[in-house]
Every structure is written in structure tokens, then in C-alpha cells.
């Protein structure tokens, strides 16, 4: 108990019950109160904990429990006056101090139960990351993930049991790492390197980042559409007729706190949108199958709406009736009929009506000429 803070020592001295993982309980062998080993998975221990209401209970957790830890999960189940926290140095802080990295300029991710693809937007040579993973097997999986994407040259430092008697630090590259005795808890310090493709940071990513069947808002139009939607931190987007999911995915890539719901009537496209989101590290995209406007019922209200498919007078009216004042609405039209509809609504509701004409250079015999795309009419308005 020599490494505990005074507050932690006092809490343990007064405890009627101490619970936590077996490895945590082993670090405080001289407890005189009841012990309860926390089960796996973690959520299975919440109900037994809540059943102890009225007793002095101490839950042991690593480091700072409110930074990719158990703190927020427990706190939301209790009243504010029922708990107090005694944080210790976080694993991220300990890892940064071992490596000499400025933590404010280092990506910090907890991937215990999250997909490795959350790394994808951050893979760029020279960038550094501190990543918490589940166990030694997960270390190997992460290194294979990097190697398969062209970042096998990344320097990987494996940091085990930081701050405890079993602490160990070893180095390798993602392509060569072959340690078979890595023990939980483990963190990785990674300096990305290699010739893998880097995901651009600006809206309007190349179309080949998205699997699609032709139903995709093309790159230049997508950039203009995202500009009109104007994502802001913490906001939610409705992407109606999401298709490949490209608009919703780029909305999510704009900021880690944004949320998006895609609506898609075609089950195959809905599955493809989910897969695209997962591959690009924004698995928080929700895709709901069904026809708008009926499928929109009972969904959380958005701050922005994009209509990429299924545009109709019925849908526009349903949105006008449902959406709160201040909601931003952007609709793209390619047919004469849908253009006429947007022109009518623009005349009645205002906003901006933009015609987008694009052409790309293409072979024309032995020379080149301009190959025009269908013009797009875009209506954007704040309701």
C-alpha cells in the first residue's frame, strides 16, 4: 500500500468491502474487510456493486478512472453524493513519462473493447500514439493491422504493468514484433512510419476510400455539401438516403464528438455504409433501414439534415413540420423534377440555391476534352 495516496489509504481503512480485479486485490494483501473479485466482463460487476448500497465500498481501478477507465461507467449509476474518486497517475501519464513524449501532442486511445480501425484516421508518418489494449493477443492484432496498411515500419514500445512491481518496457516494430509473453495490463507507444496511404484531413476525401455501387455523392460535390452542412462539435446529422455513407462518415471525421444517423431503404447499401464507417474508424455511425419519412419517427433530433436520396415534397414537408428552428437542411437534386421541387421550396423558405456544373478532362480520340457530369442543384437553408 506504499504507493497509495493518503485519501486512498483512508478509504481502504474505513471500507466494509473492497472490490476490484484479482490483480488489484493482490496489491493490497493486508485488508481486514470483506473482498469481492470483480467479474469479467466488467459490466457484470455493476449490479452486485449497486446491491451494496448503504455500505462503505471501495472499488479498485488503475490510474485515473475517468480517462478511458471505469469511473464514468460507475458514476452514471450512482447519485453524486454516493461516490468519491481518488485518482492516481494515468497509464497515459506513466507511459509518456517513460518515453519522454509531450502528452498534449500525443494521440491517446483506449482500445480495450473498441475496434482497431479507430486508429485509421490517425495513421500518418511521424505521428505518435499511446494506446491501451486488452492483452498480449491484442498487441499482435494491432501490429498486424498496421503492417497490413503499410505502416509495418512503425516503432512500437510495449509497456506492461506500469507503476507496479511487474513493470516491463520493450521495443520492436509493428512488422517484427514477436513477443509471446506480454501480460495485461499493457499500453503501446507507437511512432507511425511506413509508406501506407494517409487519410486526408479535409472534407471531400477521394471516392476510392468508400466502397459503393455508384450511389455515392462524388468528391467535389461532397466537399461542397459538407461545407454547407457545416459540422460543429457535439452535433448530430441525419443522412437521408445514406447510400455508401460517405456524407455521414465525413461528418463524423470532422470532429470526435459529432454523431450521425444514416437512413437507407436498401439493406445491401445500409450494410456497405456500416462497413465503410468501421473501416475508416468512425464505427459510431448508426445506419437505420427504412423509407423516409416514416423511418425518421422517434429518432433523436438532429442539428443538420442531408437529403441525398428519396427527395420528395412529402419528405420536405415532414422535415419542416418535425425539425426544430435553427436546424440546417441541405438537399441535392439531379433530376429536372427534383430541381423544380427545390426551386419551389427555395422561393418559399429562402436559403441558398446553388447549381454545380462539373467536368473532367477525358480522352477524346488522340486528344483530350471535357466530359461533363450531370449538374447538381443544391438547396441549403436554416429552418
Residues 167 and 245 in one domain: no
The pLDDT of residue 1 is 38
Number of other CB atoms surrounding residue 289 within 10 Å: 14
Cell of 158: 510495449
Residues 213 and 259 in one domain: yes
Look up the CATH number of the domain holding residue 143. Answer: 3.30.950.10
Residues 320 and 234 in one domain: yes
Residues 372 and 232 in one domain: yes
Last-in-domain residue among 191, 226, 260: 191
Write phi, then psi, for 153 (nearest 5 degrees): -80, -5
Residues 373 and 291 in one domain: yes
User: Residue 303: which of 382, 236, 381 has the closest Cα?
Assistant: 236
Residues 212 and 316 in one domain: yes
The answer as to whether 200 is a domain residue is: no
Cell of 145: 493491422
**Residue 145: CA count within 13 A, CB half-sphere:** 19
Look up the CATH number of the domain holding residue 301. Answer: 3.40.50.150
Task: Name the DSSP class of 238.
Answer: E
Residues 57 and 107 in one domain: no
Write phi, then psi, for 143 (nearest 5 degrees): -65, -40
Last-in-domain residue among 82, 112, 137: 82
The answer as to whether 202 is a domain residue is: no
221 burial type by CB count under 10 A (0-12 exposed, 13-18 middle, 19+ buried): buried
The answer as to whether 357 is a domain residue is: yes
The pLDDT of residue 32 is 84
Task: Name the DSSP class of 239.
Answer: E
DSSP β-ladder status, 186-191 and 168-173: unpaired
Cell of 305: 439534415
Look up the CATH number of the domain holding residue 19. Answer: 3.40.1010.10
The answer as to whether 196 is a domain residue is: no
Cell of 24: 488489484
376: β partners: 356
Last-in-domain residue among 191, 216, 244: 191
The pLDDT of residue 2 is 40
Residues 234 and 368 in one domain: yes
Q: Which residue has the cell 429552418?
A: 383
The pLDDT of residue 214 is 87
The answer as to whether 1 is a domain residue is: no
The answer as to whether 199 is a domain residue is: no
Q: State how far the alpha carbon of 47 is from the alpha carbons of 19, 21, 53, 215, in Å.
A: 13, 16, 11, 46
Looking at the 3D structure of the chain, how many domains does it have?
A: 3
Helix axes 313-322, 336-349, angle to 10 degrees: 30
Number of other CB atoms surrounding residue 58 within 10 Å: 19
The pLDDT of residue 122 is 98
**Residue 264: CA count within 13 A, CB half-sphere:** 23
The answer as to whether 201 is a domain residue is: no
CB burial of 331-364 (b: ≥16 within 10 Å; e: otherwise) equals bbbeeeebbebbeebbeeeebebeeeebeeeeee
Residues 233 and 358 in one domain: yes
**What is the extent of the structural domain holding 27?**
6-82
Residues 332 and 258 in one domain: yes
The answer as to whether 222 is a domain residue is: yes
Would you write out the chain's pLDDT as a tens digit for each of its 383 residues?
345 677 788 888 888 999 988 888 888 878 888 999 999 888 899 999 999 999 999 998 888 888 888 899 999 999 999 999 988 889 999 999 999 999 999 999 999 889 999 999 999 999 999 999 999 999 999 999 999 999 999 999 999 999 888 999 999 999 999 999 999 899 999 999 999 999 999 999 999 999 999 888 999 999 999 999 999 999 999 999 999 999 999 999 999 999 999 999 999 999 999 999 999 999 999 999 999 999 999 999 999 999 998 999 999 999 999 999 999 999 999 999 999 999 999 999 999 999 999 999 999 999 999 999 899 999 999 99
Residues 23 and 143 in one domain: no
Residues 163 and 268 in one domain: no
Longest dimension (CA), the chain: 89
Q: Which residue has the cell 439493406?
A: 267
The pLDDT of residue 355 is 96
Amino acid at each position: 500500500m506504499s504507493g497509495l495516496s493518503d485519501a486512498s489509504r483512508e478509504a481502504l481503512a474505513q471500507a466494509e468491502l473492497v472490490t476490484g480485479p484479482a490483480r488489484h486485490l493482490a496489491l493490497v494483501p493486508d485488508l481486514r474487510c470483506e473482498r469481492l473479485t470483480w467479474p469479467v466482463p466488467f459490466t457484470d460487476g455493476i449490479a452486485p456493486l449497486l446491491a451494496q448500497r448503504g455500505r462503505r465500498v471501495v472499488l479498485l481501478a488503475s490510474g485515473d478512472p475517468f480517462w478511458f477507465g471505469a469511473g464514468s461507467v460507475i458514476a452514471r449509476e450512482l447519485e453524486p453524493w454516493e461516490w468519491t474518486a481518488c485518482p492516481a497517475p494515468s497509464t497515459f501519464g506513466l507511459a509518456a513519462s517513460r518515453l519522454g513524449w509531450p502528452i498534449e501532442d500525443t494521440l491517446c486511445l483506449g482500445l480495450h473493447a473498441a475496434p482497431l480501425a479507430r486508429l485509421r484516421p490517425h495513421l500518418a508518418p511521424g505521428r505518435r500514439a499511446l494506446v491501451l489494449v486488452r492483452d498480449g493477443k491484442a498487441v499482435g492484432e494491432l501490429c498486424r493491422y498496421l503492417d497490413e496498411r503499410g505502416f509495418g515500419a512503425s516503432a512500437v514500445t510495449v509497456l506492461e504493468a506500469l507503476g507496479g512491481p511487474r513493470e516491463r518496457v520493450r521495443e520492436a516494430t509493428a512488422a517484427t514484433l514477436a513477443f509471446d509473453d506480454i501480460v495485461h495490463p499493457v499500453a503501446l507507444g507507437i511512432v507511425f512510419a511506413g509508406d501506407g496511404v494517409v487519410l486526408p484531413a479535409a472534407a471531400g476525401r477521394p471516392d476510392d476510400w468508400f466502397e459503393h455501387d455508384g450511389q455515392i455523392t462524388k468528391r467535389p460535390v461532397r466537399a461542397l455539401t459538407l461545407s454547407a452542412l457545416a459540422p460543429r462539435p457535439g452535433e448530430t446529422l441525419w443522412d437521408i438516403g445514406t447510400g455508401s455513407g460517405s456524407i455521414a462518415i465525413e461528418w463524423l471525421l470532422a470532429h470526435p464528438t459529432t454523431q450521425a444517423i444514416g437512413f437507407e431503404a436498401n439493406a445491401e447499401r445500409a450494410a456497405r455504409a456500416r462497413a465503410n464507417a468501421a473501416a475508416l474508424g468512425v464505427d459510431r455511425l448508426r445506419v437505420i433501414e427504412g423509407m423516409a419519412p416514416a423511418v425518421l419517427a422517434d429518432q433523436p433530433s438532429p442539428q443538420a439534415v442531408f437529403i441525398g436520396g428519396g427527395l420528395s415534397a412529402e419528405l420536405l414537408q415532414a422535415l419542416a413540420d418535425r425539425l426544430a428552428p435553427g436546424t440546417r437542411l441541405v438537399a441535392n437534386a439531379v433530376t429536372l423534377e427534383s430541381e423544380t421541387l427545390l426551386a419551389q421550396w427555395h422561393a418559399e423558405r429562402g436559403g441558398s440555391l446553388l447549381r454545380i456544373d462539373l467536368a473532367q478532362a477525358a480522352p477524346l480520340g488522340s486528344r483530350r476534352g471535357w466530359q461533363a457530369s450531370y449538374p447538381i442543384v443544391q438547396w441549403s437553408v436554416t429552418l
